[in-house]
Amino acid sequence: MILGVTGTIGCGKSTVARLFARKGYGLIDADKIGHKVLNIPSVRKKIKKTFGKEVFIGKKVSRSKLGKAVFSNQKNLKKLNRITHPHIGKIIQKELKNRKNVVLDAAVLIEAGWQRHVDRVVVVKTSYKEQIRRLIKQKRYPLGLIKNIIKAQMPLKKKLQYADFVIDNSGTLRKTSEQVNRLYKKWKE
């Protein structure tokens, strides 16, 4: 079975994906693929043409500078997605080919249309307050940037409409793990 695990930033989708990986599922991390895609020469060239050399450090794209440019302006985010998502999607399709029992960890699973490549969609949710608390603690992002990132993403309510299953990650890791275990057992039956 191919699972697509998604949610908005700070909800814990990667935690849930790793919990499934511990059950024997392979793990494909769309964020890591996205980071690699930034090193493709044609992608760098388009980013430079679109956003200028200000988002570079030397010849490399600065993810933090690029993030500030795109999360403060929805149009810029759409431009970046048009540049990177086709490359990311191709790599995901290649990695999913001929694989069974794999988890695709992708914040933009639905926005990019990648849910068509999975058998089931798992949406991970938590409260807005908890998202902010986690991002300040774990990522040390400033509050303004956090709010911009959350605002730029598809609202959780809309993602939930695509869910085959929902995992509430508002509580402890143990409670989240119990939910993953229940789903895993259900699928094994």
Residue ranges covered by each domain of the chain: 2-188
Does 3 or 189 have the greater pLDDT score? 3
Handedness of CA 89, 12, 175, 158 (dihedral sign): negative
137 phi, psi to nearest 5 deg: -70, -50
CATH of the structural domain 2-188, one choice from 3.90.180.10, 1.20.1050.90, 3.40.50.410, 3.40.50.300? 3.40.50.300
Q: Given this model, what pLDDT does residue 38 score?
A: 95
Considering the entire predicted model, what is its pTM?
A: 0.91
Q: What is the DSSP letter of 97?
A: T
Q: Given this model, what pLDDT does residue 187 score?
A: 82
Tens of pLDDT, residues 38-84: 999 999 999 999 999 999 999 899 998 998 899 888 899 999 999 99
Among residues 29, 27, 20, the alpha carbon closest in space to that of 177 is found at 20
- At a CB cut-off of 8 Å and minimum separation 6, what does 56 contact? 48, 62, 65
Q: Given this model, what pLDDT does residue 39 score?
A: 92
Dist CA 167 CA 103 (whole Å): 15
Tens of pLDDT, residues 134-178: 989 888 888 888 888 888 889 999 999 999 999 999 999 999 999
Q: Find out whether 120 and 165 touch, Cβ atoms under 8 Å.
A: yes
Among residues 112, 48, 121, 54, the alpha carbon closest in space to that of 86 is found at 112
186 phi, psi to nearest 5 deg: -60, -40
Q: Given this model, what pLDDT does residue 3 score?
A: 95
Instruction: Provide the mean pLDDT of the chain.
Output: 93
User: Is the predicted pLDDT of residue 189 greater than 70, yes or no?
Assistant: no
Q: Find out whether 162 and 110 touch, Cβ atoms under 8 Å.
A: yes
Dist CA 183 CA 170 (whole Å): 17
